[in-house]
Amino acid sequence: MVYDLSIVVEKFPIFIPAAVQTLKITAASIVFGVIIGLVVAFGRISKCKLFYFPATLYITVIRGTPILLQLFIVYFGLAEIVRLDPFPSAVIAFGTHNGAYIAEIFRGAIKSIDIGQMEAARSLGMTQFQAMRRIILPQALKRAIPPLGNQFIIATKDSSLASAISVRELLLKSQQLGSSTYRFMEYFIIAGIYYLIITTILGYLVHRLERRLAVSDRL
């Protein structure tokens, strides 16, 4: 056999720091992404052009350009103005990137709530803000969970692009060990297993949350 799978078992633990780095980038970009996403989603559903246009422009630009380009712009491009370390560069680039997609997820979820819900809330005398916070958002967030889970998994995998600016996460670690030993396949398999573990656990957690919040739908 050309591949030595015992290396996979033997070297598996030394990837832990890299896996932690992957998790950190992913978690930070998800948190930023959700915050940005919520704000931008409100801009997108706003009737006020002052909010609508910047939000729409942001989504158009982010969705219309490659994530790797966005990462390079933050890390190399902005270096003339502010020199950021690789890790914060990755978090900023990926957070901004995820924010655009998450904004569209939130917008879709809010729009999917029947107009009658807003009318019923307003007919009780609630303000727009109260109706949004108490009636629309709780229902919309619940509906947003499956696509959000999807986006979180995408964010996990996209974090591997940070290897291109030398963040020592899973992919870079496997590349480095591979090129120094010529055992590329073995180390790539290790990285792959780590990604699978992370995305599987993430998928499971999202699924559980989804089920827990489905209490009110149960017949």
What is the contact surface with other proteins in residues (CB under 8 A)? 114, 116-117, 119-127, 130, 134-135, 138-139, 142, 215-219
> In angstroms, what is the minimal distance from the CB of 133 to other proteins?
9
> In angstroms, what is the minimal distance from the CB of 212 to other proteins?
13
Alpha carbon distances (Å) from 181 to 5, 7, 58, 174, 184: 14, 11, 44, 11, 8
Nearer to other proteins, 13 or 125 (CB): 125
> In angstroms, what is the minimal distance from the CB of 148 to other proteins?
17
Nearer to other proteins, 120 or 201 (CB): 120
> In angstroms, what is the minimal distance from the CB of 210 to other proteins?
14
Helix (H) or strand (E) holding 112, with range, is helix 86-112
Nearer to other proteins, 81 or 215 (CB): 215
Torsion-angle region of residue 48: left (phi > 0), alpha (psi -120 to 50) or beta? beta
> In angstroms, what is the minimal distance from the CB of 200 to other proteins?
29
Tell me which residue has tokens 């599987």. Answer: 200
Long-range contact pairs involving 64-69 (C-beta distance under 8 Å, separation at least 24): 67/93, 67/94, 67/97, 67/158, 67/161, 68/161, 68/164
> In angstroms, what is the minimal distance from the CB of 150 to other proteins?
22
Nearer to other proteins, 130 or 181 (CB): 130
Nearer to other proteins, 55 or 136 (CB): 136
Tokens of 63: 């969705």
Residue 199 near residue 65, CB atoms below 8 Å: no
- For 43-67, the three-class secondary structure string (H helix, E strand, C coil) is HHHCCCHHHHHHHHHHHHHHHHCCH
Nearer to other proteins, 122 or 157 (CB): 122
